[in-house]
Structure 1
Amino acid sequence: MPRSDSDIATLEDPATVTGRDKAPAAARQADDDVVIRARGVTVAFGGKKVLDDLSLDVRRGEILGFVGPSGAGKSVLLRTILGLNAKDAGTIEVFGIDYDRASDRERLSVERRWGVLFQHGALFSALTVRENIEVPMKEYLDLSPKLMHELAMLKIDLVGLAPDAADKYPSELSGGMIKRAALARALALDPEIVFLDEPTSGLDPIGAADFDQLIMTLRDTLGLSVYMVTHDLDSLFQACDRIAVLGERKVLVEGPLAKMLDYDHPWVKSYFHGKRARTIVTNDAKPARPTPFDGAA
């Protein structure tokens, strides 16, 4: 008598069946962990390629440090992910949505799930800190002025600014305060991803260290994924879970700090073992966790 499908399933090795079931589940889990997926991205200006067949993943809940020589295209890739630069080739998916093929509604849903801190803060000079933070709320949400005011004050407190900073204009702020105000605006819509473009540039070492601590604390408390374009070695050593190095128009290497320290490439070796690089001696070359953030820079 021929065996039924149920009989065959019963006769199979349980370990084989379990392994077969686990493989797709593991693949689905891996896909769920990737919030940004770039594949084959090529960007050119005036016929000159800045990025060429670049691929990169950003995972849920991580702080990814994106580093490379000046002019290599770090900010170009960030702006391309945000849809501010056009691609010549390749795909970029954010939350599983191909931004190029997305409908207006899908694009709106993606944009509400990210926040951006542009280089130098990019605050509107004619608006107060509170008004700057309310800009994304006015664009994407339908809230009363009173509620927007209350939410803006919550964001100001979240990034460690004093309440009286709310009514100050950017010209009245220190460098560290500008960075925090810009971060508060990036957090205005309670995003899942935060893009940071050179967040510690222009800050003194203490202010930069405090800002790194703030980013790590917010990542841990809010469950953020952080894409950080930086040249700051201290930020890479201290704050980043994973590092991607841009060079030769693509990602040369990506992984934890230990992989960067072992990677045999002239620029990578010079950068991570140069005179300004810190000597880190740990079992796995993973940066230590900071103490809780306790003040403003």
Structure 2
Amino acid sequence: MAAVEKQPETQEGSQKDETVLSVHDVTVAFGDRTVLEHLSLDVKRGEILGFVGASGGGKSVLLRTILGLTEKRSGTIRIFGVDVGKANDAEKVAVDMRLGVLFQQGALFSALTVLENIQVPMREYLDLPKKLMDELALLKIELVGLSADDAAKFPSELSGGMIKRAALARALALDPDILFLDEPTSGLDPISAAEFDELVIKLRDTMGLTVYMVTHDLDSLFTTCDRVAVLGNKKVLIEGTIEDMLKSEEPWVKAYFRGKRARQLDLESRH
């Protein structure tokens, strides 16, 4: 009897340790310029991983490579255990439907309303009646903190924070397992950025998401991320908790996390 009662805990523990995204020995180059070289990184189920590095260092290149938008020269990328480089079309579609992406600046379609933008993934992957799509899109709009009145607005009528939330709603359209965020708080004022960070944590907890977040925002890294991976010299220099980052003597990591801008951040007050 006791063994049966303990079984769910064991399964839960194994799920938390499950690797849902594995990048192994990946190299990406454009002509003679190598951007990523023999890079490896694992992302665990349910965590919020912050991916940080110097501007132009290849953070967004890795994200686009994971999503299949940029070709790798070598290496392996597995998502939910599927080697996407060797997967057939059906397998790729099955994986794609479990991924949600918020691109930099939101990347909303300017000629579509918020409601129609959110429905784009539904139209691409699902065959649903219009009424049902409308209902689902409105649910996502509410989920990210927008109002039903915002559904009929065009991107040009939205503030920067509203654009991010609308783009997030679109990323959540298919109830993904992994949410990719590319500089989600870029361009937001501190209050809007903090609210967005809180929203990401809430969505992770309520929807069971795994979040891969490319960011340079120190506040987001300190308040939101369970782990941080640092890109440097074309590969992952170090990965671990914020505490690990603060202890690191790697020059770039030390300058970034313990430099002048970081001194205003009180780690203890944020946990």
Which band: TM-score by shorter chain?
over 0.9
Structure 1 residue 160 displacement after superposition:
0.1
Once the two structures are superposed, the pairs formed by residues 164-203 of structure 1 within 5 Å of their partners are: 164-203=149-188
Distance 1:106 1:280 in 2: 45
Distance 2:55 2:127 in 1: 41
TM-score by length of 2: 0.93
Structure 1 residue 280 displacement after superposition:
2.8
Structure 1 residue 281 displacement after superposition:
4.5
Q: Which runs of 4+ in 1 moved over 4 A?
A: none
Residue segments in structure 1 that go unaligned for 5+ positions in a row: 1-24, 289-297
CA RMSD of aligned residues (A): 1.6
Distance 2:173 2:260 in 1: 39
* CA 1:30–1:61: 2 relative to 1, 3 Å: closer
Tell me what 2:3 maps to.
none
Structure 1 residue 30 displacement after superposition:
7.6
Structure 1 residues 2-24: Cα deviation after superposition (integer angstroms, max 9, x where no partner): xxxxxxxxxxxxxxxxxxxxxxx
Structure 1 residues 98-120: Cα deviation after superposition (integer angstroms, max 9, x where no partner): 00100111101000001000000
Tell me what 2:99 maps to.
114
Tell me what 2:41 maps to.
56
Tell me what 1:215 maps to.
200
Structure 1 residue 265 displacement after superposition:
1.2
Structure 1 residue 279 displacement after superposition:
3.7
Amino acid at match of 1:132: N
SS of equivalent to 2:176: coil
Tell me what 1:131 maps to.
116
* CA 1:223–1:31: 2 relative to 1, 3 Å: closer
SS of equivalent to 2:112: coil
Distance 1:198 1:253 in 2: 20
Tell me what 1:149 maps to.
134
Tell me what 2:7 maps to.
none
Tell me what 1:161 maps to.
146
* CA 1:202–1:180: 2 relative to 1, 3 Å: same
Aligned identity (percent) is 67
Amino acid at match of 1:248: N
Structure 1 residues 220-267: Cα deviation after superposition (integer angstroms, max 9, x where no partner): 000000000000000000000000000000000001011101111111
Distance 1:250 1:195 in 2: 19
TM-score by length of 1: 0.85
Structure 1 residue 29 displacement after superposition:
3.6
Structure 1 residue 31 displacement after superposition:
9.6
Structure 1 residues 151-198: Cα deviation after superposition (integer angstroms, max 9, x where no partner): 000000000001111000000000000000000000000000000000
Tell me what 1:280 maps to.
266
1:264 to 249, 252, 269: 249
- In the alignment, is the contact (CA less than 8 A) between 2:110 and 2:154 conserved in 1? yes
How many residue pairs align between the two structures? 260
Distance 1:134 1:280 in 2: 41
